[in-house]
Amino acid sequence: MSVPHARALRNRLVEGPGSLGERLRTARWERLAGFFPNLAGLSVVDLGGTPDMWQRAPVRPRHVHVVNLAPPPAGLPDWITAQTADVTEPAVAAGLGRYDLAFSNATIEHVGGYRDRRRFAAAVEALAPLHWVQTPYRYFPVEPHFVAPGFQFLPLAARARLVRRWPLTHSKVGSPQEAMDAVIGVELLGRAEMRHLFPGSTLLSERVLGVTKSLIAVRPERGPAAPAASRD
């Protein structure tokens, strides 16, 4: 498959307007608004997200503070602030203050090993009384970052070899070292680990054709407007 054809296919599946990924993101925003009906009045700390995502969101919180390893863009609106930092560092998390809602979308699977995931979860708990932490489900048949069926179940060396040739990756991987870095940098989580990391949360599923694609650990607002949430 040529590079332009691979990019077009990835856009249709994951990234482009009208893609499956875009439809799932729209549904996720609607679900978020259901659990946090007062989102427009909340201060939000986003761990691992981007200002652009919030600028395109259907609901604008009172304030959003984005924490990411990547430098933020210039010219942000006054209701968004951004910080280049690693929230798994305890000193960073301790210095962030308190917010109404800790939000994270597809980040916890990238932070490192189990110890770093524990630190990430501890930061979520410490930063806000409410939270929403989404992550792709390990046992969905297609690995979402590389858009490859069963990719996450292959041996590490096989994943590193395949990613150098697989046409549907987000970014082209060059050297064997870059390939190994790319595959080691993603550790998908299952239900047991998410429940262990967020024991006081409700664990939700996002499904495609009845199959769980993502998991969400949520501690919602209480009140009649919030939907009933049961563990599944």
Q: Is residue 224 domain-resident? A: no
Please name the amino acid found at residue 162: L
Contact indicator for 4, 198 with CB cutoff of 8 Å:
no
Say whether both 162 and 83 belong to one domain.
no
Q: Is residue 133 domain-resident? A: yes
Say whether both 181 and 97 belong to one domain.
no
Say whether both 60 and 152 belong to one domain.
no
Q: What is the pLDDT of residues 124-168, one digit of tens each?
A: 999 999 999 999 999 999 999 999 999 999 999 999 999 998 888
Say whether both 103 and 198 belong to one domain.
yes
Say whether both 40 and 108 belong to one domain.
yes
Its pTM stands at: 0.87
Say whether both 36 and 106 belong to one domain.
yes
Say whether both 108 and 165 belong to one domain.
no
Strand segments (E) across the chain: 43-47, 63-68, 80-84, 101-105, 130-136, 142-143, 148-149, 202-208, 211-219
Determine the pLDDT at residue 212. Answer: 97
Residue range of the domain that includes 75: 3-142+188-219
Say whether both 83 and 198 belong to one domain.
yes
Q: What is the pLDDT of residues 175-193, one digit of tens each?
A: 999 999 999 999 999 999 9
**What percent of the chain shows pLDDT beyond 70?**
87
